[in-house]
Structure 1
Amino acid sequence: MAFLSRSRIVIGTLSAFALLAWFAWHQGWGSSPKKYLTTTVSVENLEETVLASGVVKPFQQVSVGAQVNGQLKSLKAELGDTVRQGQLLAEIDPLLPQNELLKSRAALLSVRAQYKARQAMIRQYELDFRRKQSLVASEAGSRADLEIAEAQLHSSRAELASLAAQISQAEIEIRIAEVNLGYTRISAPMDGEVIAVVTRQGQTVVSAQSVPTLLILARLDRMTVEARISEADVVRVKAGQAVSFNILGDPDRRFTSHIRAVEPAPESIARQDQMQGAGGATAGGADAAVYYNALFDVPNEDRSLRTSMTAQVSVLLDSVQKATTVSVAALGKRGADGRYEVRKLVNGQPQTVQVTTGLRNDLNVQVLDGLKEHDEVVLGEEPEPQ
């Protein structure tokens, strides 16, 4: 009997413990407290920027071409040479233009000789006309002969006027031939450096359809960056805004400048005009991305920037010094008054507070009220272990 009594006591005790454990689990006593992903409110300088890619180009670039036909007789500049405005760069064989000039001068001499001969004939016709006029007045000559003499005189004077016009035309032809002869000596139109040699010495250039390019000159002491701004951001980008960029070859160095101008039309408009002029379809479609070029200049005394380099551009829209900031991910629902819900962690438990925001970028937002430095705010809940 004593053994049975002790067994009942043990069984009853175990049942009580099991019931108590079940009740504790059901009430959540055994569950671990929730863990939250949090971030801390901090004070820092905040900037709002527009990011864009750009292309580095010379501040000034000129394609030096030939305006006459002929063989490139000599090339006076090589790739990388520094040249001054007016410096001789190339010479085209002048034989054909020289012959044209000699031909024009000979034509002028011929016309002037004809003019003098016509002047002598007019003097003869004038004397003949006066003589026949006197004979008719004295009734000793024929009126018909007088009329013929008068017609010859007027015709010769008209031919003399035509020859005078031909002399002017011949003089113009000489000036054109002199200009063409001068075009055989090609000079630098500006100070700069030779960045490309397109035509080599000995090649024949033909300028009948278009001006063939011999050299490309550029000013490399100052470069222009064309930043491609999307249509979504271009309304916020204006001339005078601060801008910075780096290049792929030297990502740690930041170049700074200010926007000089924002082009009023997208960069694709030139291609569209060319295709329409050629009878082709319009480039791009309704879904094609549209970009506008923002232009700014930067000194390049050390020649670290080269033409056609890619630039990673950042346009500064606005900035705040020592702003109270929090991660954009902490912002919750926006109310009708423009304030946002943020869950602030107090004694390990989240409490919803309303905050007023100011300047923001892709990562952080300025908090004007509702939070202070070192406050912890909830970004989300940590997933429970499986």
Structure 2
Amino acid sequence: MREWGFGRRPLRNAVLLAAVLALAAGGLRYWLAEPPPPQVLTAAVERGELEDVVLASGVVQPLRQVDVGAQASGQLKTLKVEAGDKVKQGELLAEIDPEDSLNDLKASEAALDARIAQRRAKQAALQQAEQEAARQRRMRHEGSTSDKELLAAETAFLTQQAGLDELQAQIRQERSQLDSKRTKLSYNRILAPMDGEVVEIVTQQGQTVIAMQQAPVILKLADLSQVTVRAQVAEADVIRIKAGLPVYFTVLGAPDQRFRSQLRTILPTPEKINNAVFYKALFDVPNADGKLRVDMTAEVSIVLSRVAQALSVPLSALGEAGKDGRYPVKVQGKDGRLQERRVRVGLKTATRAQVLDGLQAGEKVVTGESADKPEEGGAVVVSA
């Protein structure tokens, strides 16, 4: 009968025994060790200003803009300004060739002079008829003339009087026409109706303008010392806004500079763009430095509510609200372990929620599960 091999090979058996003991010890440590912290995405609880806003895209337009037209027909003889020039009210902008209007004025003046000359002749004839009527009355009183002669003299006087009245009316008409011709002649000089900046030249010097049914536009004048932003607000958001709300916007050339104002009005008639309905919300902004220009694109934020120094977390950190109105939030401790708390929230924006109690600034809250798997024997925590 063979003997057991421990006695014959003591060295090999000792090595095998040591290996078995090592494996047993490793397995024991594995089963007794605490599980690794879960691998999650986290974000810090932050304190800062929190705003609930309605976002919209807008266009910068002049608060006041006038199409300066011509009321006279003719060749644009001189153009005194160029696009970009600043002008004052009453300043001469352009002149239309006045030759035709000047000729009409001279003809009207001559017609008036002729009527005035006719009036002098008529006045002389009236005076003569009046004297003859008076003479006939004296003679009839003396019995040296007949009733027929007296009647003829008085009729001649009344006829001359009516003729003079008619001529006076014609003179008034001629004077009215003369004033109209002078006014039409003044239309050949195009003056600035307000202080502003020439934003566009429509008709060039030398072109012929015909002012028949409507006044042709010579240039466009705008007051850019104050501009209006026309923001397009989506149908779903327009019921949340009202006149008087604070608003700010940025432009592409100055994305870090905020221009602030208050919402002035919301136009009642919508505009359809690709079957989507938008309403125009208007507000005015001072533009003394001239940075804001016509047709600039504005990224507009209409502020519904604002909280300064609010404690907030990302919306993704909140679970489903309970019956008490509180939300569950998972908080990661310094050791990486997670614990659940229930918090009360206030203002909510599109991305964050104000925390009224239950959390402290600087704590880490879980916002989601990490897509990366932890390495053997450890965990990876990704913080936002």
Q: TM-score, normalised by structure 2?
A: 0.75
Contact 1:237 1:315 in 2 (8 A): no
Structure-2 residue corresponding to 1:132: 136
Correspondence for 1:370 among 358, 362, 367 = 358
Number of residues of Structure 1 aligned to a counterpart in Structure 2: 337
Give, in whole Å, the separation in 2 of the partners of 1:263 and 1:187: 33
Paired position in structure 1 for 2:328: 342
Contact 1:126 1:153 (C-alpha < 8 Å) held by counterparts: yes
Residue deviations 1:337-378 (CA, integer Å, cap 9, x gap):
6x243243477456462x322222111111112333344545
Assess if the C-alpha contact under 8 Å between 1:45 and 1:321 holds in 2: yes
Whether the aligned pair in 2 keeps the contact of 1:230 and 1:292 (CA below 8 Å) is no
- Say which of 159, 162, 169 aligns to 1:158: 162
Distance 1:349 1:75, change over 3 A: closer
Q: Take 1:39 and 1:335, find their aligned partners in 2: how far apart are those partners?
A: 23
Residue identity opposite 2:160 in structure 1: S
Q: Is the CA contact (8 Å cut-off) linking 2:59 and 2:231 kept in structure 1?
A: yes
Q: Which residue of 2 aligns with 1:208?
A: 212
Asked if 1:254 is matched to 2:242, the reply is: no
Could you say which residue in structure 2 is the equivalent of 1:307? Answer: 294
- TM-superposition CA deviations, 1:269-297 (whole Å, max 9, x none): xxxxxxxxxxxxxx869x76141322121
Question: Which stretch shifts more, 165-174 or 200-209?
Answer: 165-174
- Give the greater-gyration-radius structure (CA): 2
Matching of residue 328 in structure 1 with residue 315 in structure 2:
yes
**What is the Cα deviation at residue 34 of structure 1?**
6.7
Letter in 2 for 1:344: K
Does residue 319 in structure 1 map to residue 324 in structure 2?
A: no
Aligned mates of 2:239, 2:205 — CA distance in 1: 47
Give the TM-score taking structure 1 as reference length: 0.75
**Cα contact 1:80–1:195 (8 A) shared by 2:** yes
Q: Deviations over 1:7-62 (max 9, x none)?
A: xxxxxxxxxxxxxxxxxxxxxxxx99975555443323212222111111234433
Q: Quick one: which of 79, 100, 113 aligns to 1:75?
A: 79
**Deviation digits for residues 191-238 of structure 1 (CA, Å, limit 9, x no counterpart):** 433221111111111112111111222344544322233453465343
Structure 1 residues without counterparts, runs of 5 or longer? 3-30, 269-282
Q: CA RMSD in A?
A: 3.3
CA contact (8 A) 2:252 2:298 kept: yes
What secondary structure sits across from 2:77 in the alignment?
strand
Residues 78, 206 of structure 2: 8 Å contact kept: yes
Specify the code of the residue in structure 2 equivalent to 1:321.
A
Cα distance in 2, alignment partners of residues 131 and 341 from structure 1: 119
Unmatched 5+ residue regions in structure 2? 3-34, 374-384
Deviation of residue 69 (structure 1)?
1.0
Whether the aligned pair in 2 keeps the contact of 1:45 and 1:323 (CA below 8 Å) is yes
For the pair 1:196 / 2:200, whether they are aligned, the reply is yes
CA contact (8 A) 1:72 1:203 kept: yes
How far residue 240 of structure 1 moved from its aligned partner, in angstroms, is 6.5
Q: Which amino acid aligns with 1:65?
A: G
